[in-house]
A = this chain, B = another copy of it.
Amino acid sequence: MNTSHEIEVYVRFCETDAVGHVNNTSYFLYFEEARTKFFSEICPERDASFSFILASVTCDYLSQAYASQILKLSTVVKNVGTKSFTLLHTLKEVDTGVDIAECISVTVCFNYSDQGTIPIPKNVRKRLEEYLIAS
């Protein structure tokens, strides 16, 4: 791996549930924020005709997280295909370094003018490869 894309998120109280920990659905808020910011970085010149469409997402829950914690979300690229690519997001608690969750997401490149999937644009592919991990 050359590099990873990193953000920090603060766990809001409303993201917890009556068991006392962060609810299973809240993790996807964090993963979406990571993807949005990652996409801004690898494709800052994106216009309205082009879009990244989420095809699938998987989350493995490893440890519990709690209100007011700061979590670090690292994003790397696991695979770059023709029209789609696979991201790996890992979520750690900053204070303890404990692994909280791991997420794999598959995103497809889409053109609204043609209403269809398209090959990953060259400049996007080049930037994705900077985050590619050895498989």
Instruction: Enumerate A92-106 residues with CB–CB distance to B below 8 Å.
Output: none
A21 at the interface (CB under 8 A from B): yes
> What residues on B are CB-neighbors of A17 within 8 Å?
13-14, 16-18, 67
* Integer count of this chain's copies in the complex: 4
Q: How many residues of A contact B (CB 8 A)?
A: 33
Inter-chain contact B55/A61, CB cutoff 8 Å: yes
> What residues on B are CB-neighbors of A61 within 8 Å?
53-56
Q: Which residues of chain A have a CB within 8 Å of any CB of chain B?
A: 10, 12-14, 16-21, 23-26, 28-29, 32-33, 36, 40, 51, 53-61, 66-68
Closest 10 CB pairs of A and B: A16-B18, A58-B58, A25-B28, A56-B60, A14-B23, A14-B25, A18-B20, A24-B54, A16-B17, A12-B33
| Bound-state Cα–Cα, A58 to B55, Å | 11
Report if A18-B68 is in contact (Cβ < 8 Å); known contacts: A13-B32, A33-B12, A36-B12: no
Minimum CB distance partner of A102 in chain B? B56
Inter-chain contact A18/B57, CB cutoff 8 Å: no
Inter-chain contact A59/B60, CB cutoff 8 Å: no
